[in-house]
Amino acid sequence: MDNIKVSLEAVKNEIDKYARDLINKGKNAFDESRFEDASKLSDQGKKLQDFSKKVDGLSVDWKRNFNNVIEHHFPTRITSSPKSPRTGLSVTFPDGSFVCDKTGASTFMESLYKIGFSKIEDLNIRVRNLPLVSKSKNNHPIYQEHYLNGYWIVTHTSTAEKKNTLEIISEKLQLYLDVQIV
């Protein structure tokens, strides 16, 4: 994967984080009857949505026009960055149940299983440009996938990215999960 593709994916992830924050602020403003603030936040949301579409367009254009050229003429190696201390996840569900396994990856997978792989698959969430969950293995030479109950799960992300992914799923499915890095 080339650096521009990775950079565009990172921009898209940051836009998604900002959008979630904007949605929460808008909900709070509306709930508190601050309708003028809610309207301004809604306008910002529309602009952000337009900007997000432009980034998507850039990604598509890059992939369509330059991807094969870059990968063929300038192969890159993804090198590992220095490792941070190992962290894990704790996920609390609204019914009071929680998942907190030995590793962030196992907590992540168990939480996805508890939510339901088919629901998550329907969300079409992509990680490292691969489907987060899929019934078929992606066979990517670098990114780790684990198999659980008929689905392949991409787990090759940092703990912070796993937390962010669970929060996106929680928001989209209105699950109200409490996800913490431990």
Q: What gap in Å lies between CA 172 and CA 23, rounded to an integer?
A: 11
Same-domain check for residues 39 and 93: no
Same-domain check for residues 113 and 31: no
Does residue 78 lie within any of the structural domains? no
Our CA angle for 169, 13, 168, nearest 5°, is 10
- How far CA 122 is from CA of 94, 109, 126, 139, 175, in Å, comes to 22, 17, 11, 21, 15
Does residue 81 lie within any of the structural domains? no
Asked if residue 71 has pLDDT above 60, the reply is no
Q: Are 63 and 5 in contact (CB under 8 A)?
A: yes
Does residue 84 lie within any of the structural domains? no
Over residues 159-178, the pLDDT tens digits come to 999 999 999 999 999 999 99
Does residue 82 lie within any of the structural domains? no
Does residue 80 lie within any of the structural domains? no
Asked if residue 70 has pLDDT above 70, the reply is no
Q: Which of 26, 48, 73 is the last residue in one of the domains? A: 73
Same-domain check for residues 101 and 147: yes
Asked if residue 122 has pLDDT above 60, the reply is yes
Asked if residue 76 has pLDDT above 70, the reply is no
- Number of domain units in the chain: 2
Same-domain check for residues 101 and 67: no
Higher pLDDT: 72 or 117? It is 117
Same-domain check for residues 120 and 152: yes
Same-domain check for residues 55 and 96: no
Mean pLDDT, all residues of the chain: 85
Same-domain check for residues 63 and 33: yes
pTM of the prediction? 0.55
Mean pLDDT of the 102-109 span: 92
Asked if residue 72 has pLDDT above 60, the reply is no
Asked if residue 37 has pLDDT above 50, the reply is yes
Of 39-53, 72-86, 97-111, least confident by mean pLDDT is 72-86
Does residue 127 lie within any of the structural domains? yes
Three-state DSSP string of the chain: CCHHHHHHHHHHHHHHHHHHHHHHHHHHHHHCCCHHHHHHHHHHHHHHHHHHHHHHHHHHHHHHHCHHHHHHHCCCCCCCCCCCCCCCEEEECCCCCEECCCCHHHHHHHHHHHHCHHHHHHCCCEECCEECEECCCCCCCCCCEEEECCEEEECCCCHHHHHHHHHHHHHHHCCCCEEEEC
Domain of residue 171 covers 89-181
